[in-house]
Amino acid sequence: MSQGFSLKDQLFNAEKTRYLAGLFADAQPTFDAPAFEVAVMAKLPELELKERMTWIAECLKQAIPGDLPTVAPVILRALPEPLDPNKTDDDFGDFIFAPLGDWVVAVGLEHPELALDVLAELTQRFSMEWAIRPFLNRWPDEVVTRMQDWCGHSSYHVRRLVSEGTRPRLPWGQAVGLDLADPLPLLDQLYRDNTRYVTRSVANHLNDITKKEPELVLQRLQDWQESGAQDAEELQWMTSHALRGLVKSGHAGAMKMLGYDPDADLDVSIEIEGEAIIDGALEFSVAISGQEKQPVLVDYIIHFQRPGGKISPKVHKLKQAELKDGSLTLSKRHKLKGNATTFKLVPGAHRLEIQVNGQVRGGVDFELLEKS
């Protein structure tokens, strides 16, 4: 029986470990590469992805003992050339360098200036967004001051680290003690960046903030629009990406900023086609009518039954469009996977609703059936 794809095995394995060992053997003649490989692989297969990073860092720390002033020169000598500086996106780097960030945290928290120097080099091989957060909590003033300089760094990977490292809700990242507004002066510089890798991070950062203070984000985006410092098309993309969480929740202010009138006079009708069956699909069509050339942002919400009788609404994108002739007809086939690991389908009464410009405009009930 074939096994499914394993991200942890693709990113951290014997071949990657051997590659890392070779780099350090070249940088430090006394480094015992075979012993390091044996130590790593003795435990690596039993660990999850993030645990593998920690374990490889621990093995490096044992193989090259000492505090950061001792090991930093070795780390820097071991690094390959930086990632291609001519790219502007989709160049995250090689995960095998992530453990070096854990190593710097383990031995360098009392050496912030040197640690930040090293992290600036490391992040040009693989993002150090997780590693910088312990330093941000331990030395907030020193790190923010350095980040102000990094906003003008020649490497867009270092510039991105400023935004990504200070995100309030960074996946896998340690929580940081900054107030939500504290990094905004940094973002005021970064939103002007000419690389999508940086501007996407800024937009993701703003989306994090919207979870608690949406008005703070809306005001900042308004200020940026008025400044004219970023290309209008790029800023529009950033705005849409930053407000995606608010759009799903139907936030009126977000809708207006994106050019959609939440109070538009619209008529919506919904028709479900056929039966909705687990491992099949929910097929439906939507007809929208209103003022000619009215912009509409259409989402659909499925209210799923959950074990125990609870209801779980899930919002999905349907269409961004314009009522060219005062009308728009859409159709959708939503797959109903019965074997999904993250969400178990339960047969029974369900509901489909259509949300236009943040407002629920209509809904129909349907029965989700067991696969025969």
pLDDT recorded at residue 315: 94
CA distance 138 to 144: 12
pLDDT recorded at residue 3: 52
pLDDT recorded at residue 48: 95
pLDDT recorded at residue 5: 67
DSSP codes joined into one string, 86-145: T--SS--B-GGGHHHHHHHHHHHTT-HHHHHHHHHHHTTTB--TTTHHHHHHHSHHHHHH
DSSP codes joined into one string, 9-20: HHHSSHHHHHHH
Q: What letter would DSSP give residue 283?
A: E
- Segment (H or E) for 25: helix 14-27
pTM listed for this prediction: 0.89
Hey, what are 199's tokens?
Answer: 């501007």
Q: Supply the Cα-derived Rg of the chain in whole angstroms.
A: 25
Residue-level pLDDT, tens digit, the chain, 372 residues:
345 568 999 999 999 999 999 999 999 999 999 999 999 999 999 999 999 999 999 999 999 999 999 999 999 999 999 999 888 887 889 999 999 999 999 999 999 999 999 999 999 999 999 999 999 999 999 999 999 999 999 999 999 999 999 999 999 999 999 999 999 999 999 999 999 999 999 999 999 999 999 999 999 999 999 999 999 999 999 999 999 999 999 999 999 999 999 999 999 999 999 999 999 999 999 999 999 999 999 999 999 998 877 899 999 999 999 999 999 999 999 999 987 777 889 999 999 999 999 999 999 999 999 987
pLDDT recorded at residue 149: 98
**157 and 124 Cβ atoms separated by less than 8 Å:** yes
**99 and 53 Cβ atoms separated by less than 8 Å:** yes
pLDDT recorded at residue 372: 78
Relative to beta strand 348-356, strand 294-305 is antiparallel
Region for residue 150 given its phi and psi (left: phi exceeds 0; alpha: psi -120 to 50; beta: otherwise) = alpha
Domain ranges of the chain: 66-242, 267-369
pLDDT recorded at residue 1: 33
**247 and 215 Cβ atoms separated by less than 8 Å:** no
* Residue matched to tokens 């680290």: 161
Hey, what are 289's tokens?
Answer: 């009518």
- State in words which class domain 267-369 has: mainly beta
- State in words which class domain 66-242 has: mainly alpha
In the chain, which ranges are E strands? 267-273, 276-277, 281-289, 294-305, 311-323, 327-335, 348-356, 359-369
pLDDT recorded at residue 4: 57
Residue 252 backbone phi and psi in degrees, to 5:
-65, -40
